[in-house]
Amino acid sequence: MAGADELVGVAGHPIDHSLSPQLHEAAFRALGLNWESRRYDVSAGGGAQLVETMRTLRLRGLSVTMPLKEEVAACVDELDEQARLLGSVNTLVLEHGRVLGLSTDGLGLLDALRHSKGFEPAGTRAVIVGAGGAARAVGAALGSAGAAEITVVARRPDQAQQVAFLAGPSGRVGSPTDAAVADVIIETTPVGMADTPHHLAASLVDPELLHQGQLAVDLVYHPRRTLWLDAAARSGAETEGGLGMLVHQAARAIERWVGQPAPLAAMWAAASEAL
């Protein structure tokens, strides 16, 4: 920590690919703060020790990624509402010696859609494709934001039901054809990372079902535009990639750590440059 006034970081395994330090430090520079962000390679089973190390080193905050999100949630002193609902955290904050666990992923996505598309989820019909950790966070966020209907489309009905439960009274399990009447369709699976025609066919929702007046979102951010998004755009839908979720979930962490509004323009520039 030599030379820095405060230290934050990102923890998980593998961690070398994480863009979090670039986003954090771009924000700190824009805010005029002499803070530093580091990567901490911590494998499964190291969550409890990570929380104690955070106290010992007095780290102001940590971003948490796989495979630690659920493990760390069980070790902190307090959880925010979203983290408590999900049993998962992606952000830690040290305040007065206590470690607080937050979940900013799903809320970060909604922030990104408001920022770039003017999209307000209240009263809308949403389809979530997939039932993993990202789908759970998105479902919980949409439910808390007042979406009128949240339909989950996944290969495993039991996991889809879990996401629907987290979405609250508006949540239900559906089928791919529900995408045709949704306002927003959110692809949460990693299919787009391969970005080949073969993997495009593997998506549960055929983008040819989509049309003008809909918003299609893919949480994959590398590549910036997936084949699924390109196909959705050809069908007339408005589209949004996953980089905004990455930036805005980090922005929520920054604001909690430093007590100031996050410099979004600087963070967007850093994310775009890193990719």
Active-site residue list: 69
- Which DSSP letter does residue 14 get? S
SS3 sequence of 190-252: CHHHHCCHHHHHHCCCCHHHCCCCCEEEECCCCCCCCHHHHHHHHCCCEEECCHHHHHHHHHH
Q: How many CA atoms lie within 13 A of 136 on its CB side?
A: 18
- Residue 51 near residue 40, CB atoms below 8 Å: no
Q: Is the Cα torsion angle 188, 190, 193, 199 positive or negative in sign?
A: negative
Structure tokens, 70: 């659920």
Q: Is the Cα torsion angle 131, 133, 245, 226 positive or negative in sign?
A: negative
